[in-house]
Amino acid sequence: MLDLVIRNGRVITGSGNPWFRADVGVKKRLIIKVGSLSDDAKEVIDARGMVVCPGFIDLHDHSDLTILANREADSKVHMGVSTTVFASCGSGAAPLNEAMREEVRREAPFLKEAGVEVDWSTMEEYLSRLEDGGLSINVAPLVGFGTVREYVMGMEMRAPTKAELEAMKREMSKAMEAGCRGITTGLRYDPQSYAETGEVIELSKVVAGYGGFYTSHIRDEGDRGDPLAAVEEIIRIGREANIPVNISHFKVLSKRFWHLAPRLVEMVEQARAEGVQVTADQYPYSASGTGLQAWIPPWANEGGVEELVKRLNDTETTKKIKAGLAVSMEDRGGPENALISSYPLDPKMVSQNIAQVAKKWKMDPLDAGIKLLRDHLEAITSDRVKGGFSIVNFNQTEENIELIMRQPWVAVGTDGRVHSPAGVLKTHIPAPHPRFYGTFPRVLGKYTRERGVVHLSEAVRKMTSLPAQILSLRDRGLISPGSCADITVFDPDTVIDRAGFTPAEATMRYPEGIAHQVVNGAVTMRDGEHTGARAGVVLRR
């Protein structure tokens, strides 16, 4: 007797082959039979007209902390995700020292509200914390380069000493021994940006020694001035550390460099032809979520928010900040393409772009941007408001998104976080980027069914066996006897994302067409309803 049988579906195995009609039989945690099954089963799902495929794997995610506040992983389960991957962009939740724990408590106040005590230090302790209490999805853990660097040398904006480098190597080893599957870096961000390539190579060699891979928010996605050098750098890391490398959320951010996308793709092809194992992941949105603070010159942010407020109140300094803002505003598509998605000081601003605000205020758009930022920061530092000032920036082209999506070595990743329209995350992260809720159904609906960018079986491969291969998950990502029973059932005719950029409620809208979800043999979503099952595990290396 089977525990579960999914009958009459169109099975897409995840290998890239087109669908075939079959039943899928599950016993305990495994798929044990695929075919025309006459076995009895304790539980039956009728999948007539639906696609039955492996559970989706979210190759790029930032759920290190939010998943502790929402172990049901609502936003993921409703998208059909059965396995997620974090840390990302170099920044994770372990190892932590006391100063870092204090920072986590401050930056993630939802943890306290959810009754989560931030008391772990090592990667081993953090992963155990994930396991204790259960999770509705699996987690494939990575170790954050920025986190290890901060653990060893604080926020120092310099190269490490020899002793510090050795200490970082030891921490990398410990994290890999605790079960991490690779290293993530965010070389775009301070102080990780102060690491030279050689430092990154040294640490990546340690990870390579454990069979791990390297994934990176590269040094420059077009927002700094030289995206070609950034892709060259990650290829060099792959070659010299002898490690598979993955470009996180592959994209070209600024108008100035949009035309370079075909060159960047070609560079990856070339490297692969030479034997460097390069892959990438991508989210299917032309807008990224950001804040104006990231658009002004880095020196203006030095010394923290208080210093920035002082500078914004000094006429001469403000002129210089404005000159920097002018350049990045132009690169990012102008004030029309900067949509306000959250502004706690005056929620009426939400859904307007900076050009519209400027018009209303009868101001130059740059002055309006500066005023929005200054007013917000003053309100934050004097504790008058809580929460962030966020901008949705339409800074990529559809053409480039589709070009990147067509590459066989590009997987899917949300760059999101576990989120839920109910509970503490709703109030603490009130305007999530729609990719948190919509990434996978959007690739299947908009880009596959509507636009025909890739074939359906190819889209599924990018969400299943490809990321499984990148993560060295040998027993997931395929519908085949012996594989772990992570299964998603969706309607290919209706599947689509429903989350929008604004207002806040619409950002948390579940997609349509994802019907059922099985994680390690447990039905975790049935007819679009989360069952509360917590069958997920930490997929230690």
Enumerate binding residues for Zn ion (CB under 5 A).
89, 217
Please state the closest distance from residue 230 (CB atom) to Zn ion, in A.
12
Contact at 8 Å (CB) between 473 and 484? no
C-beta closer to Zn ion: residue 217 or 332: 217
Residue 75's nearest CA partner among 417, 505, 365, 461 is: 417
How many residues comprise the chain?
A: 541
C-beta closer to Zn ion: residue 83 or 288: 288
C-beta closer to Zn ion: residue 22 or 89: 89
Chain Cα centroid distance, residue 305: 26
Is residue 48 packed enough to be buried (19+ CB in 10 Å), middle (13-18) or exposed (0-12)?
A: exposed
DSSP 336: G
Q: What's the half-sphere exposure (Cβ side, CA atoms, 13 Å) at 63?
A: 34
The Cα–Cα gap between 59 and 74 comes to 17
Please state the closest distance from residue 90 (CB atom) to Zn ion, in A.
8
Please state the closest distance from residue 89 (CB atom) to Zn ion, in A.
4
Return the bridge partners of 53, or none: 488
Please state the closest distance from residue 349 (CB atom) to Zn ion, in A.
26
C-beta closer to Zn ion: residue 89 or 535: 89
Please state the closest distance from residue 366 (CB atom) to Zn ion, in A.
26
C-beta closer to Zn ion: residue 185 or 342: 185
C-beta closer to Zn ion: residue 248 or 524: 248
C-beta closer to Zn ion: residue 120 or 436: 436
Please state the closest distance from residue 48 (CB atom) to Zn ion, in A.
40
Collapse the DSSP code of 76 into the 3-class scheme (helix H, G, I; strand E, B; otherwise coil) and give the result: helix
Collapse the DSSP code of 309 into the 3-class scheme (helix H, G, I; strand E, B; otherwise coil) and give the result: helix
Please state the closest distance from residue 60 (CB atom) to Zn ion, in A.
8
Contact at 8 Å (CB) between 368 and 354? yes
Please state the closest distance from residue 249 (CB atom) to Zn ion, in A.
6
What are 129's two structure tokens? 């914390």
The Cα–Cα gap between 294 and 190 comes to 11
Residue 429's nearest CA partner among 386, 374, 377 is: 386
C-beta closer to Zn ion: residue 89 or 94: 89
The Cα–Cα gap between 392 and 228 comes to 25
The Cα–Cα gap between 282 and 247 comes to 9
